[in-house]
Structure 1
Amino acid sequence: MNTLFALLHIDGFAWPWLLLAVVLPWLAYRLLPARAQDGDALRVPWYARLHTLEGGLVASAPTRGFPWLAWLAWSLLCVAAARPQQLGPPVAPLQAGRDLMLAVDLSASMGEEDMQLGGRAVDRLTAAKAVLADFLDRRAGDRVGLIVFGDRAFALTPLTLDRDSVRQQLDGTAVGLAGRATALGDAVALATKRLQIQRAQQRVLIVLTDGVNTAGVLAPDKAAQIAHDAGVRIHTIAFGGDGSTVSVFGFRLPLGGGGDEVDEAGLQRIANATGGHFFRARDTEALAGIYAEIDRLEPVRRHGQVVRPKIECYPWPLGAAVILGVLAVLLRRRDR
């Protein structure tokens, strides 16, 4: 009964072509010549009459009939070899990962060439791109989105597992692309809006800026309060040196007042208001260390794609085939 129940509720076979082997014994029986019987040891004219006596004094010679019990065992063996399977209940495996947005400042001050990369002086945005590219390489399993801001904030990529797309969009940015001012509050608000559809434990925003809020319609402190109410955790990074530089006889000398002073206190308030961390990076080494620190933050476990595992059902027909096969052998020996 259990065998019949399992076979009636299968959802398919892993190797269905093996079911064709069911007809092999029948084909052999029909197409191959019968095995020649041994000659009689003694021929008597009254053999047929003795055979018809009540009780059968003489055992009948084996006939060329098809062994149905053995064929049934063979059929079940073929069914087991085809691997019948059932679909189990839906399962959503847990996956470790985070959903995070990157907000990158593209204001004019990001063009200050006070960073060192590979032994040469580069602007802040170029240095930030290099460090962010390495950060994205370690984001396997995370969904990452990208927001840039200047006079206004723009979402370049939504949350996605395709980190190559995020990297390509980041590489295509340039200083002043979104304007020359710094709409920090608007960037936080836009990121919060994009993250609101995610689960509360997965709402993370990383803000990279080198200035103070000079544009936009929303103050950074107000945007931080909105982010807090939406369950968004913000990590802020104040990036940049102490001003612009100029080359004199191959040496780079700082120019005082070359750029806006970083609003470290404001960025600290944003991070504290949302349960995040504030970091200060004056060079690429410090920035890389900051992203490594963020990388060590405890990941959030979330449910992955729902799947239905396949349950193997071959033990039932295999067990029945073994039982019927043994029974067929025993009955054949008894008939002898």
Structure 2
Amino acid sequence: MHAWLETLWPGFAGFAWPWAWALLPLPLLVRWLLPPRQPASPALRLPHGAALVPVLAARAAPRLGWLLPALAWLLLCAAAARPQQLGEAQAPPRQARQMLLAVDLSGSMAETDMRLGLDVVDRLTAAKAGIADFLDRRAGDRVGLLVFGQRAYMLAPLTLDRETVRQQLRDTTAGLAGRETALGDAIGLAVKRLREQPPGQRVLVLLTDGVNTAGVLEPLKAAELAREEGVRVHTIAFGSAGGGFSLFGVPVQGGGAEIDEDTLARVAAMTGGRFFRARDAQELAGIYAELDRLEPVDVAAAPARPRLERYPWPLAAALLLALLGWPLHRRGA
């Protein structure tokens, strides 16, 4: 029967309650169990009674008056069995990561000690290039952008729209959030935003080139809050070991800023993350590639076809037949 219905009804997926078909002979069983109808009382003979026979025959119900109730009952049993049909294939939802990117915008990020291809650029420009490539590979994740200097700010809330995050990052400049560095406040703000998200996939990637010189929250205290809220913090210390480039691209000594690598490493260790040290743009690109490995994007599962309930169809047809059969029943009564 299943194969026959599949031929007539493309996408037919069977009946959820096939046992409901056992109700099909119920009317016959009830008719058999009920007592027989009482014989009609003796008729009164009337003169010219033969002339009334055609009139009464015209008013009588058709001989097949049982057909509509039988079809209606068949359709009711079909509705009770809950026929189902396969819908269009749909990809199941993935468990996206909630990932915040925290970028240092303190004054030292304007220092030109990086090479990007053949060009000499400042640290922020090199960081933007690495983060933009990283965003290209985070399809399916909800990504947000947080910047910090003397204070911490959310530039882009967590979103699936990576282009918006990329645009906000592109518009940032060194010193936009102040000349100093509030590491602890940046971590604290990230924890506050990620705490509102489902647990299990809360990640913060923090990039800085300095030490904590501003803010009200110490980095290690902020790391404790992150650990309590299940936020994994990866920290990146970014900047050359010392020196920079002249206007002609010639390396010069001096001018390197101090980076508190010890605190950054402890923050990462306390929260289950990793600490990285990037001295140039190439190393930074390798670090973001490593983060792709540590925080892989969930692979989409194979599309599935949902089962759609189709019991309203036979139910509506049964009610329609019942409405059509009611006048015939009244006529034959």
Same fold (TM over 0.5): yes
Distance 2:295 2:174 in 1: 33
Q: Deviations over 1:181-212 (max 9, x none)?
A: 00010000000000001222111000000000
- Give the deviation of 1:97 after TM superposition: 3.0
The 1:195–1:104 alpha-carbon spacing in structure 2 relative to 1, beyond 3 Å, is same
Q: Which moved more, 1:234-243 or 1:143-152?
A: 234-243
Distance 2:297 2:137 in 1: 15
Counterparts in 2 of 1:19-98, with a 5 A limit? Answer: 93-98=92-97
Match of residue 117 from structure 1: 116
The 1:126–1:161 alpha-carbon spacing in structure 2 relative to 1, beyond 3 Å, is same
Distance 1:303 1:135 in 2: 19
Match of residue 274 from structure 2: 277
8 Å Cα contact 2:104-2:207 kept in structure 1:
yes
- Give the deviation of 1:260 after TM superposition: 2.6
1:253 maps to amino acid: P
- Give the deviation of 1:296 after TM superposition: 1.1
Q: Deviations over 1:78-118 (max 9, x none)?
A: xxxxxx97699xx9934153110000000011011110012
Match of residue 287 from structure 1: 284
- Structure 2 residue runs of 5 or longer lacking an equivalent are 6-66, 76-82, 315-333
Match of residue 226 from structure 2: 227
Distance 1:202 1:210 in 2: 26
SS at 1:262 equivalent: coil
- Structure 1 residue runs of 5 or longer lacking an equivalent are 7-67, 77-83, 318-336
- Give the deviation of 1:303 after TM superposition: 11
May I ask how many residue pairs the two structures share in their alignment? 234
8 Å Cα contact 2:244-2:251 kept in structure 1:
yes
Identity, in percent, stands at: 64
- Give the deviation of 1:301 after TM superposition: 6.1
1:252 maps to amino acid: V
Match of residue 253 from structure 1: 251
SS at 1:128 equivalent: helix
1:311 maps to amino acid: L
- Give the deviation of 1:247 after TM superposition: 1.7
Distance 2:216 2:271 in 1: 20
Q: Deviations over 1:158-197 (max 9, x none)?
A: 1100000000000000000000100010000000000001
TM-score by length of 2: 0.63
Match of residue 146 from structure 1: 145
Match of residue 99 from structure 1: 98
Match of residue 237 from structure 2: 238
Distance 2:295 2:120 in 1: 35
Distance 1:288 1:245 in 2: 19
